[in-house]
């Protein structure tokens, strides 16, 4: 059964040179719709969104290609990406009307498969460690040459010299501004958050990590198991301190037992990591507060209390 909108079905047919034979709905996350399509080239995934933010899928494709180039983690291959576009549709009376092709992304479909969970965890942890060890921004700065998205929220990435500066100006303050706009900070919440933001340089003063390529949104919903190999999806990449990647992973859990131990064995975290971890978890917590609402404030408050704010 075809679940693709007709205009999207036609656009994908033109790109592939063959019409999809079937389309099976897939979980597309909180933002997009997705389907597995059967084609002469094998199964593929189409993600689409009729109201996508400009460049949303282009940012995702760019992130996946950067991860692929790093050579440590497996990601789906990208076949096509397009922002929303209008095209004329002929009508029976000879007139034409304009229809909108939604933004879409076409990529490789990889089967989720069971496998030895201990071996999967070991290989996954070691692969992420290898990526963090072997990728450094060419200019030695923190950030990226383009902005992108985390979920449906903008993620500014303009380069900064130091990690504390980048984390304060490109991660915490933009989320604080969004929270204010959405009315998420009644009472003294803004003042407390700003007090903590003012401590960023002090708390992160001893961080010595080089800017490495981060997935940027690595939680349990953004990887799948295919045998004993991890497949990562939906990145929000930039060059940053690896501690924030591990802090995010440990924030909500859902990773296989032995994953952290495998990472630590391959690329040990500094002893001060645990002191900095709550601050590094503040960015994903503010993102979740801004995306999902009040249920995430208690965890934000725990971070504030941890640092006396």
Burial readout 13-44 (b: 16 or more C-beta within 10 A, e: otherwise): eeebeeebeebeebebeebbbbbbbebeeeeb
Q: At what angle do helices 259-266 and 117-134 cross, to 10 degrees?
A: 40
Catalytic, out of 62, 116, 147, 217: 217
End-to-end Cα distance, the chain? 55
As to burial, measured by CB atoms within 10 angstroms (0-12 exposed, 13-18 middle, 19+ buried), residue 222 is middle
Tokens 């953004």 sit at which residue? 222
Tokens 């092709």 sit at which residue? 101
116 is catalytic: no
Q: How far apart are CA 52 and CA 50, in angstroms?
A: 6
Non-local CB neighbours of 206 within 8 Å, separated by 6+ positions = 272
Q: How far apart are CA 123 and CA 289, in angstroms?
A: 32
3-state SS, residue 96: strand
Give the long-range contacts of residues 255-261, CB within 8 A, separation 24 or more: 255/121, 255/124, 255/220, 256/117, 256/118, 256/120, 256/121, 256/124, 256/225, 257/117, 257/118, 257/121, 258/118, 258/121, 258/122, 258/125, 259/121, 259/124, 259/125, 260/125, 261/125
Q: How far apart are CA 23 and CA 39, in angstroms?
A: 10
Residues classed as catalytic: 217
């Amino acid at each position: 059964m075809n679940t693709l909108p007709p205009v999207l079905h036609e656009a994908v047919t033109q790109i592939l040179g063959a019409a999809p034979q079937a389309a099976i709905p897939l979980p597309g996350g909180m933002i997009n719709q997705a389907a597995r399509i059967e084609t002469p080239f094998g199964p593929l995934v189409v993600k689409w969104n009729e109201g996508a933010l400009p460049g949303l899928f282009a940012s995702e494709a760019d992130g996946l290609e950067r991860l692929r180039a790093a050579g440590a983690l497996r990601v789906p291959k990208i076949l096509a990406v397009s922002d929303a576009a209008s095209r004329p549709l002929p009508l029976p009376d000879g007139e034409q009307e304009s229809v909108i092709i939604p933004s879409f992304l076409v990529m490789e479909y990889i089967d989720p498969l069971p496998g030895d969970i201990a071996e999967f965890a070991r290989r996954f942890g070691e692969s992420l460690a290898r990526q963090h060890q072997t990728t450094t921004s060419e200019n030695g700065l923190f950030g990226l040459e383009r902005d992108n998205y985390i979920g449906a929220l903008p993620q500014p990435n303009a380069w900064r010299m130091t990690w504390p500066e980048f984390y304060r100006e490109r991660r915490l303050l933009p989320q604080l501004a969004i929270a204010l706009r959405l009315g998420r900070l009644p009472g003294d919440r803004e003042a407390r958050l700003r007090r903590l933001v003012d401590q960023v340089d002090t708390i992160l003063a001893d961080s010595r990590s080089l800017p490495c390529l981060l997935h940027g949104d690595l939680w349990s919903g953004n990887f799948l198991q295919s045998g004993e190999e991890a497949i990562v999806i939906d990145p929000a990449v930039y060059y940053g301190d690896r501690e924030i990647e591990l802090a995010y992973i440990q924030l909500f859990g859902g990773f296989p037992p032995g994953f952290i131990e495998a990472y630590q064995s391959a690329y040990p975290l500094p002893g001060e990591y645990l002191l900095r971890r709550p601050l590094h978890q503040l960015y994903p917590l503010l993102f979740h507060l801004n995306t999902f609402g009040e249920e995430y404030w208690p965890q934000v408050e725990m971070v504030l209390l941890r640092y006396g704010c």
